[in-house]
A and B are shown apart, each in its own frame.
Chain A
Amino acid sequence: MRLLGPRSIASLLKTALDVVYYGLYTLILGAAIAVVCVLSVPNLAAEVVRRLNIGANLSAGSQAVMLVAFAISLGGYLLVMRWTRAIFRTLADGDVFHPDNTMRLRSIGVALAALEVFGYAARAFASGFLHIEFEPIYGLRAVTMWFLVLVVFVLAEVFKEGARLRQEADLTI
């Protein structure tokens, strides 16, 4: 399978990235509409709670808060996807060791870490104030995101070295 061009791994990845990117936009839009509906349509909150079998009697305001938190986390993933697409564009241009990619990868690492911390905070808030019980996550699954963050930061350093080597090669006459 070819690396670049039609029917290549890169074109498949590009399609996947585009689908996820615009899918996230759609989900955020859906969450925003849901917030408006929950706050404006009477009894919708109670109906949703009953249908989803959440096991907690959430008010419309609480549901709106949860939806906003969900939308914020989706916004974080949208940012991550935006940086990933920018990195991918440099690959398609044949300039993957561009100096900007180091900063993009670091930003992705920070964003993933922030999303994980935000997830902890949202769960703590939901269980503490809204009395929603979440299924606990044990073992390696609990730290998967932190492994991912570590890998992304390592990749950022690899790209930094790659960018330095590329510049050195460009300036070797």
Chain B
Amino acid sequence: MIRIRLAEALAKRRLSIVELSDRTGISARDLEILRDDKALAVRLATLDALCRALDCAPGDLMTFEAD
């Protein structure tokens, strides 16, 4: 399955969910869903906003883990 590594990305940059929310315009609740790996799908616009705010590539935010 695809895992979102948002918690690691935030820890690496010493950012909180609220700060990331301010930078991206994505609600803290939605970011928590992403962080907790509960999301079923991610829009390209969301990925774009996250990559811009965290200055990274999509591959840095996602990993594939075999079940």
Contacts and interface: CB of A to CB of B under 8 A. Distances in A.
A146 to B, nearest CB: 38
A140 interface: no
Interface string A143-173: 0000000000000000000000001100111
Contacts of A172: 39-43
Contacts of A168: 40-41
A26 to B, nearest CB: 46
B63 interface: no
Contacts of B26: 173
A163 to B, nearest CB: 14
Contacts of A167: 40
B54 to A, nearest CB: 15
B6 to A, nearest CB: 10
A168 B33 CA distance: 13
Nearest to B27: A173
17 contacts: A167-B40, A168-B40, A171-B33, A171-B38, A171-B39, A171-B40, A171-B41, A172-B42, A172-B43, A173-B26, A173-B30, A173-B31, A173-B33, A173-B34, A173-B39, A173-B43, A173-B46
B62 to A, nearest CB: 13
B10 to A, nearest CB: 15
Contacts of A173: 26, 30-31, 33-34, 39, 41-43, 46
